[in-house]
Amino acid sequence: MLVPSPRVALAALLLGLAPPGPATAAEGVPSPSATAPVACAGSRECASKLGYGNVCSDGRCGPYGDRTDLFVALGMSEKEKPPPEPWRLYPAVLPAIGYNPALGFLIGAVGTFGMYLGSPSTTTMSSASALALLTTQKQLVLQLSTTVLTADNDWQLQGDWRWLLYNQDTFGLGTGIPPVQYGFSTNGWGDTAPIPGAQPMDFNLLRFRQSALKSVTPNLYLGGGFRYDRYYDIVDLSLDLAADPPVVTSHYAYSLYYGFDPSAYTVSGVSVDALYDSRDSTINPYRGLYGLLSFAVLPTWLGSSQSSTMALADLRAYVGLSDEVPRNVLALWLRVEGVTSGHQPYMALPSVGWDAKGTTGRGYVQGRLRGTAWIYAEAEWRFRITDNGLFGGALFANAETMSRPAVTSPTYGYEQGAENLFNSVKPAAGFGLRFLMNRESRTNVRLDFAWGVDALAIYMGAGEVF
């Protein structure tokens, strides 16, 4: 996750607080048209010869580029910029002001640092982003995320390090109705009190995730990583076993049943990863495919509270809809994730909004849906509104389903059937506005309105959702 959307923190982002620096890490290797101009009679010819995203201008093919971003519009940026240089540090330290359904309003600072570790013609810019946030929900978020690409993109190193002093509502497992919503009966507790809504929790999280992938053929990387997540100082604010009837939360019941300490637990281990990435940008792709397959082994001898394994498939496609305006794109996303053996602690299970960027499930607050297995699908149409490119828009829809394991406890005289994938599906849809912040890196400030089942959420952030 990017922590619950701290990248979303870049939210309302910098609306004019400082001019953008050079193109960021996701800009990608320059198009061949940048070094070998090709004569053309139309943009379709350029797209056919050089790839979607290249257009015909003055009889020559070249990469599409919007004319105006926020800083040009405000007179804070020059129209022409010198080309970037290798081994030169490009820093930017900016205030961050924004909003996120899970965080509330937030304020803090973010620093972004870029550098080419090889020739800009063959190497994508490396980047490091550091942020510190305080929120109206009394949360503290400290995070450092890195994407490092060595010369000629030979290696790709990805890091996600964070420390959270946090709180969040949880709602049980599955996309259906959790047992605690109506209460349940056991020999140990008798009849429990129903919890029809949210189950608030306080917790802290220390996360260290680092991967290294080696290019083996064009666009294909193989490698692995190490991951460590420590959840501690967990407090179930709704839990009250002394009440009459007792109030038993989903987190507490799950932890007791599977033998986890409900106040703290750890997930630690290694992963084997394969990545295919032919996108022309990792910030705002106009074309290409992205496919990540990852299998993680999380044994007790590497620090996990219990041994388990997990699998992840993350697949994305970007389909161009206009040769003349390559910014008009249909983006598709399919994510499949789940526990494949053993048991994971409750807060470490797959959950909406807790992916790497914290952007899944627009229409539902972060942590609203959680389960032992998860299938998520989303489609988004991205388009330009004004001819100069300053304003754009998006229409999107998503749907997800999660599973919940069966429970059989002779000790407590309780039995509950499983909720399988597709027993219940939660849809959502919405629309968004885009304000171009940086032409070079295609970075938009986004404002999205999304409706889920009995839910409305508003999101502000920087960069595309996926």
447: tokens are 């404002």
Say whether the peptide bond before residue 345 is cis (omega within 30 degrees of 0). no
CA distances from residue 102 to 214, 222, 329, 356, 452 in whole angstroms, order as listed: 36, 34, 29, 15, 15
**Residue 22 pLDDT exceeds 60:** no
**Residue 81 pLDDT exceeds 70:** no
Look up the domain containing 103 and give its range: 6-462
HSE toward the beta carbon, residue 134, CA cutoff 13 A:
2
Please check whether residue 251 lies inside any domain of the structure. Answer: yes
Please check whether residue 276 lies inside any domain of the structure. Answer: yes
Over the stretch 159-215, which tens digit does the pLDDT of each residue have? 889 999 999 999 999 999 888 888 888 887 888 888 988 999 999 999 999 999 999
Over the stretch 243-252, which tens digit does the pLDDT of each residue have? 989 999 999 9
d(CA 54, CA 25) in angstroms, rounded, equals 20
pLDDT tier at 82, thresholds 50, 70, 90:
low
pLDDT at 108: 83
pLDDT tier at 281, thresholds 50, 70, 90:
confident
d(CA 268, CA 207) in angstroms, rounded, equals 10
Q: In one letter, which amino acid is 430?
A: G
Residue 189's domain is classified under what CATH number? 2.40.160.50
**Residue 223 pLDDT exceeds 70:** yes
d(CA 145, CA 143) in angstroms, rounded, equals 7
pLDDT at 11: 33
d(CA 146, CA 323) in angstroms, rounded, equals 33
Helices (H), 354-403: none
Beta strands 443-452; 426-438: pairing state: antiparallel
CA nearest neighbour of 93 among 4, 29, 10, 164: 10
Q: How many domains does the chain have?
A: 1
Beta strands 90-100; 60-63: pairing state: unpaired
Please check whether residue 222 lies inside any domain of the structure. Answer: yes
d(CA 236, CA 195) in angstroms, rounded, equals 13
d(CA 204, CA 33) in angstroms, rounded, equals 49
**Residue 23 pLDDT exceeds 60:** no
CA distances from residue 361 to 19, 283, 318, 341, 396 in whole angstroms, order as listed: 32, 19, 19, 25, 11
Pick the range with the lowest mean pLDDT from 56-60, 295-299, 300-304, 336-340.
Answer: 56-60
**Residue 446 pLDDT exceeds 90:** no
Please check whether residue 29 lies inside any domain of the structure. Answer: yes
Averaged pLDDT of the chain: 85
pLDDT tier at 79, thresholds 50, 70, 90:
low
Centre a 10 Å sphere on the Cβ of residue 213 and count the other Cβ atoms it contains: 20
* Adjacent-strand bridge partners of 205: 164, 231
Please check whether residue 1 lies inside any domain of the structure. Answer: no
pLDDT at 111: 63
Instruction: State the pTM of this model.
Output: 0.85
Q: What is the DSSP string of 46-95?
A: HHHHH-TTEEEETTEEEE---S--HHHHTT-S-SS-PPP-BT--EEEEEE
**Residue 34 pLDDT exceeds 50:** no
Please check whether residue 421 lies inside any domain of the structure. Answer: yes
Residue pair 332/464 in contact by the 8 Å Cβ criterion: no
Q: Which of 93-107, 134-148, 346-360 has maximum average pLDDT?
A: 346-360
CA nearest neighbour of 33 among 244, 326, 330, 229: 326
Q: What is the DSSP string of 152-166?
A: GG-EEEEEEEEEEEE
Q: What is the DSSP string of 254-266?
A: HHHHHT--TT-EE
Please check whether residue 288 lies inside any domain of the structure. Answer: yes
Over the stretch 302-344, which tens digit does the pLDDT of each residue have? 999 999 999 999 999 999 999 999 999 999 999 999 999 999 9
Residue pair 369/426 in contact by the 8 Å Cβ criterion: yes
Please check whether residue 43 lies inside any domain of the structure. Answer: yes
Residue pair 232/264 in contact by the 8 Å Cβ criterion: yes
